[in-house]
Amino acid sequence: MSAENERTGDGGVETQEEPREESRDGGAVATDGEHLVELYKNMILIRTFEEATQRGFRQGKIGGYLHVYIGQEAVATGFIDAYKEGDRVITAYRDHPFPLLLGSDPKSVMAELYGKGTGLVKGKGGSMHLFDVENGLYGGYGIVGGHIPLGVGFAYAMKYQETDHICQLYLGDGAINNGAFHEAANLSGLWGRDGMNPCLWIIENNQYGMGTSVARSTAMTDLGAKFDAYGIEHEKVDGMDLEAVLEVAHRTADKVRETGQPYVVEALTYRTAPHGSADFFEKYRTKDEVKKWRQRDPVGQLEHKLLEREILDEDALEEIRAEMKETIDEATNFADESEEPSVEELYTDVYAGEDEYMGEE
């Protein structure tokens, strides 16, 4: 153990299994080159977007909290690829990639972070509360674990309404020790027994709840196995490998859709960026650890594959990067130049129906 690891108590590295070779093959998923290129573009879109938000934050143009998805791109990109129209997606506050993947305009996503009236939720939610219901995104929630029961409720409603839609319910490893998680998992298993809970649980195990590693949070570090207590099947996937995620995502989404029963995928991933805007020192992990995971960066891995298989060459990669940069520059300019919401907006959307607001203004 290095001195640095001793200091942090456990060093995230040892707590994690090495990604298994077999999951790296991507199983039997037939991802043609064109599809991979599309998904590569999505990942670059997210990465470029997130880097722009970090700049915006440093410039004081983004207020509040900011939690970026850098390092975890393969997870959302792979699972949202299995999204079908009518499905519902719910996640916690590390939510920027979801609207981008589900078809929201990057301009309105960025404008939301900038607190503008043109934002995705009119400047009323900010970074942690991105919603695009038309495209299946039902939030964006700020209380760790608090959104989980909602997703289980979505899944029940989908069966009650006799549809074949599913809920993709994302949660971090940090939510696993929260009461809301356990109560909701129990309900999901219980209702799923009668085919009333088509809920695909996706654990984005980035190995830290803020700065507390999985090993420092629970004596039982196999997070998927927590679901054994609730009668829900589970598996793991290497969340840094897009092709591995894709295979699992499509197979498990189909299964949940077919059975009406929940299923859990624990995606092992890593947040190479700081936890949030106030995570300056990262005392909870070593530089070596971050470096090691950066070598397994999902974007880098996919680039390597695209080159190796001669799907794209360096110039083509560079072209995509430039294209995405342009998209994000436009989004940033749009956000910058947009107006703040009108002050009248303060009192709208408090209540639905005729009495938009009750009380003194």
Partner 1 sequence: MPEKTYREALREAMVQEMENDESVLLMGEDIGVYGGTHLITDGLLDMFGPRRVVDTPISEGGFTGAAVGMAMTGLKPIVEMMTWNFSFLAADQIIQNAAKVRYFSGGQVEVPLVIRGPNGGGVQLSAQHTHSLENMYGHFPGLKVVSPVTPNDVKGMMLTAIRDPNPVIFLEAGALYGTKGEVPEGDNAVPFGKARVAREGDDVTLVSYGRQVNLCMRVADKLEEEDDVSAEVIDVRSIRPLDEETLVESVKKTHRAVAVQEQWRYFGVASEVAAIIQDKAFDYLDAPVERVSGAETPAPFARNLELAAFPNEDMVADAARRVLYEKVV
Residues within the interface to partner 1 (CB under 8 A): 88, 90, 119-125, 129, 131-133, 138-143, 146-154, 156-158, 160-161, 179-180, 182-184, 186-187, 190, 196, 348-353, 355, 358-359
Give 141 or 263: the residue with its C-beta nearer to partner 1.
Answer: 141
Give 118 or 252: the residue with its C-beta nearer to partner 1.
Answer: 118
Q: What is the 3-state secondary structure (H, E, C) of the chain?
A: CCHHHHHHCCCHHHHCCCCCHHHHCCCCCCCCHHHHHHHHHHHHHHHHHHHHHHHHHHCCCCCCCCCCCCCCHHHHHHHHCCCCCCCEEEECCCCCHHHHHHCCCHHHHHHHHCCCCCCCCCCCCHHHCCCEHHHCEEEECCCCCCCHHHHHHHHHHHHHCCCCCCEEEEEEHHHHHCHHHHHHHHHHHHHHCCCCCCEEEEEEECCEECCEEHHHCCCCCCCHHHHHHHCCCEEEEECCCHHHHHHHHHHHHHHHHHHCCCEEEEEECCCCCCCCCCCCCCCCCCHHHHHHHHCCCHHHHHHHHHHHCCCCCHHHHHHHHHHHHHHHHHHHHHHHHCCCCCHHHHHCCCCCCCCCCCCCC
Minimum CB separation of residue 115 from partner 1 in Å reads 12
Minimum CB separation of residue 337 from partner 1 in Å reads 20
In angstroms, rounded to a whole number, what is the distance separating the alpha carbons of residues 236 and 272?
20
| Pick from 221, 284, 264, 282: nearest CA to 16 | 221
Minimum CB separation of residue 335 from partner 1 in Å reads 16
Minimum CB separation of residue 253 from partner 1 in Å reads 18
Minimum CB separation of residue 290 from partner 1 in Å reads 32
Give 28 or 352: the residue with its C-beta nearer to partner 1.
Answer: 352
Minimum CB separation of residue 58 from partner 1 in Å reads 25
Minimum CB separation of residue 131 from partner 1 in Å reads 4
In angstroms, rounded to a whole number, what is the distance separating the alpha carbons of residues 327 and 277?
24
In angstroms, rounded to a whole number, what is the distance separating the alpha carbons of residues 187 and 118?
38
Cβ atoms 116, 338 nearer than 8 A: yes
Give 227 or 284: the residue with its C-beta nearer to partner 1.
Answer: 227
Give 156 or 263: the residue with its C-beta nearer to partner 1.
Answer: 156
Give 158 or 214: the residue with its C-beta nearer to partner 1.
Answer: 158
Give 160 or 281: the residue with its C-beta nearer to partner 1.
Answer: 160
Minimum CB separation of residue 132 from partner 1 in Å reads 8
Minimum CB separation of residue 56 from partner 1 in Å reads 20
Give 101 or 152: the residue with its C-beta nearer to partner 1.
Answer: 152
Give 21 or 134: the residue with its C-beta nearer to partner 1.
Answer: 134
